[in-house]
């Protein structure tokens, strides 16, 4: 069992389960930014990105990838909103020279549009640049849409590893380790129970709607 290279790996588990510690131990990485570090609050985004790379081009590209403009590089960290902080921490990580990137709860504070933008970014890093992505999150509705491989952490140990399908279709496993199943999976089970109709396994709401139209 180990982190899958050039894949999107997600560590999931209840609050306090030790997800961050286990992920760092397995990845052996420290290329991430604590956006709440008081020592960074009065620094500009450009100054902070310079801690990772002196390449102005790379800094600009990283900011563009998370939806920031070139003028944003002069903003102070303390002026960013919660959602902007999450996105900027990703830009910081992208400026590193690593083949593996780790992100802690990157969807927190983001609206639906920005969450979808992050998914596109992660997929781009995986497919075009062959990067290994590691995410720590408990947002099952979000990670269900794109995770290649999942690690369930409980009491600071990996107690299960497998695909989204392996985990989220197993009600007993999710209940045992306090994993919230995605709403789309819960709905598919509800339709099976009430209507006797088995919808296909879906991770996209648009595909689910098509299934409902065809079968119900």
The per-residue pLDDT for range 173-204, each reduced to its tens digit, is 999 999 999 988 887 766 666 655 566 666 66
**Span 50-59, pLDDT tens digits:** 988 999 998 9
Q: What is the pLDDT of residue 145?
A: 93
Q: Is 9 in a helix, a strand, or coil?
A: strand
User: Which residues, 6 or more positions from 177, have their beta carbon under 8 angstroms from its beta carbon?
Assistant: 13, 14, 152, 154, 159, 160
Between CA 124 and CA 15 the distance in angstroms is: 29
Q: Which two tokens stand for residue 157?
A: 């140990």
Query: Can you list the residues of the chain whose pLDDT is less than 50?
Result: none
Exposure b/e, 24-63, CB count within 10 A at least 16 = b: bebbebebbbebeeeebeebbbbebbeebbeeeebbbebb
User: With the CA atoms of 25, 29, 34 and 39 taken in that order, what torsion angle do they form, in degrees rounded to the nearest 10?
Assistant: 120
Largest CA distance in the chain: 60
Rounded to 5°, angle at Cα 201 from 115 and 10 = 45
Q: Is 136 in a helix, a strand, or coil?
A: strand
Q: What is the pLDDT of residue 41?
A: 85
Helices 183-195 and 205-215, packing angle to 10 deg: 10
What phi and psi, each to the nearest 5 degrees, are found at residue 162?
170, -170
Q: What is the pLDDT of residue 36?
A: 55
User: Which residues, 6 or more positions from 154, have their beta carbon under 8 angstroms from its beta carbon?
Assistant: 13, 14, 17, 177, 178
Q: What is the pLDDT of residue 121?
A: 84
pTM for the whole structure: 0.77
Between CA 52 and CA 58 the distance in angstroms is: 10
Element spanning 159, H or E: strand 157-162
Q: What is the pLDDT of residue 130?
A: 87
Please count the other Cβ atoms lying within 10 Å of the Cβ belonging to residue 13: 25
Q: What is the pLDDT of residue 214?
A: 61
């Amino acid at each position: 069992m180990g982190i899958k290279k050039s894949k999107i790996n997600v560590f999931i588990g209840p609050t306090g389960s030790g997800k961050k510690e286990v992920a760092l131990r397995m990845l052996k990485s420290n290329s991430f930014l604590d956006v709440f570090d008081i020592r960074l609050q009065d620094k500009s985004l450009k100054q902070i990105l310079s801690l990772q790379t002196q390449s102005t081009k790379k800094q600009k590209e990283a900011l563009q990838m998370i939806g920031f403009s070139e003028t944003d590089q002069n903003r102070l960290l303390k002026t960013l909103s919660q959602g902007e902080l999450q996105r900027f921490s990703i830009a910081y990580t992208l400026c590193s020279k690593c083949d593996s990137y780790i992100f802690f709860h990157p969807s927190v504070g983001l609206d639906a549009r920005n969450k979808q933008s992050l998914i596109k970014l992660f997929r781009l890093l995986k497919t075009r640049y062959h990067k290994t992505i590691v995410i720590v999150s408990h947002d099952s509705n979000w990670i269900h849409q794109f995770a290649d491989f999942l690690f369930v952490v409980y009491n600071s140990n990996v107690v299960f590893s497998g695909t989204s399908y392996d985990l989220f279709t197993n009600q007993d496993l999710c209940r045992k380790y306090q994993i919230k199943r995605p709403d789309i999976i819960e709905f598919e089970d509800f339709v099976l129970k009430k209507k006797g109709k088995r919808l296909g396994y879906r991770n996209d709401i648009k595909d689910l709607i098509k299934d409902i139209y065809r079968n119900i």
